[in-house]
Amino acid sequence: MIDFLDVTKIYKNDSLGLKNITLRIEAGEFIYLIGKSGAGKSTFLKLLTLEEIPTRGAILINNQATHSFKNKEMTEYRRNVGIIFQDFKLIQELTVFDNLSYRLEIEGLKSAIIQDRVRAVLAMVGLREKETCFPHELSGGEQQRVAIARACIVQPKIIIADEPTANLDDANAFKVIELLKELNLNGTTVVIATHDEKIQEKFPNKTLEIKHQTIT
Ligand code: ADP
Ligand code: ADP
């Protein structure tokens, strides 16, 4: 599904982000990406979302090199990616419902369909009754569940999460991973960058370790 072929990323100021990464992420995998701060985890995730481009080497999506993507292919790929952040990144001025509905409004769906989809994902994360709340009225764990609902409302093929449990206590962290596992069982590929050893112990999965900017 996604291939990294000898990918090296060097930033503008000459700092090395990643070097010589060759690996394949198959559709349907659930992967932890681990490594010390500065190892290159965020760089790897940004290459996956196509927010950064390789300095050398190539990334293939379904056997097509991303450097040959036209705007339409880029938009189509990005549409199929759900991203979850350590600090949730909900829009504070919008209700839970509106935080979830806007991506569907961009796609021009009818409001009845939008309402059904928003309520379905909120029910999935156990927050059906919170749709009129604003983010600051929710706990950290609830906000991260809203963020998961937002990531999966467009029914993405891949979910990319950067330290999704870093700001949560164990109970909420486990709930977040359980939800991601459930999405994975329904076919979504999941890639999680994490330092959290408790979730790795409780939910063992394929693990890629980045050390000194590379994966061996
Ligand atoms: P991690 O997520 O594992 O902490 P990063 O991918 O953020 O690691 O960083 C890997 C290396 O790339 C670090 O040396 C970092 O300073 C560098 N780096 C990351 N992002 C940038 C950037 N936008 N500009 C310059 N250097 C960067
Ligand atoms: P994380 O542990 O999540 O990677 P970092 O502190 O490494 O957090 O990076 C935070 C942000 O700063 C990232 O978006 C990264 O790309 C950027 N960044 C990291 N290192 C550098 C750097 N040396 N120069 C510019 N931007 C950087």
Q: What is the pLDDT along the chain (216 residues), one digit of tens a residue?
A: 899 999 999 999 999 999 999 999 999 999 999 999 999 999 999 999 999 999 999 999 999 999 999 999 999 999 999 999 999 999 999 999 999 999 999 989 999 999 999 999 999 999 999 999 999 999 999 999 999 999 999 899 999 999 999 999 999 999 999 999 999 999 999 999 999 999 999 999 999 999 999 998
Let me know: does 148 contact 124? Beta carbons within 8 Å.
Answer: no
Confirm whether 104 is domain-assigned.
Answer: yes
Confirm whether 129 is domain-assigned.
Answer: yes
ipTM for the whole complex = 0.73
How much distance in Å is there from the Cα of 53 to the middle of ligand 1?
Answer: 14
Helix (H, G, I), strand (E, B) or coil at 45: helix
Confirm whether 143 is domain-assigned.
Answer: yes
Confirm whether 120 is domain-assigned.
Answer: yes
Backbone angles phi, psi at 59, to 5 degrees: -115, 130
Helix (H, G, I), strand (E, B) or coil at 82: strand
For atom 17 of ligand 1, which residue has the closest CA?
Answer: 17
Ligand 2 pocket test, candidate residues 15, 41, 42, most atoms within 8 A of CB: 42
pLDDT for position 169: 92
Confirm whether 178 is domain-assigned.
Answer: no
Let me know: does 96 contact 146? Beta carbons within 8 Å.
Answer: yes
Q: Is residue 186 in contact with ligand 2, taking CB distance under 6 Å?
A: no
Confirm whether 206 is domain-assigned.
Answer: no
Show the domain range for 147.
92-154
Confirm whether 128 is domain-assigned.
Answer: yes
Confirm whether 5 is domain-assigned.
Answer: no
Q: Is residue 37 in contact with ligand 1, taking CB distance under 6 Å?
A: yes
The number of folded domains in the chain is: 1
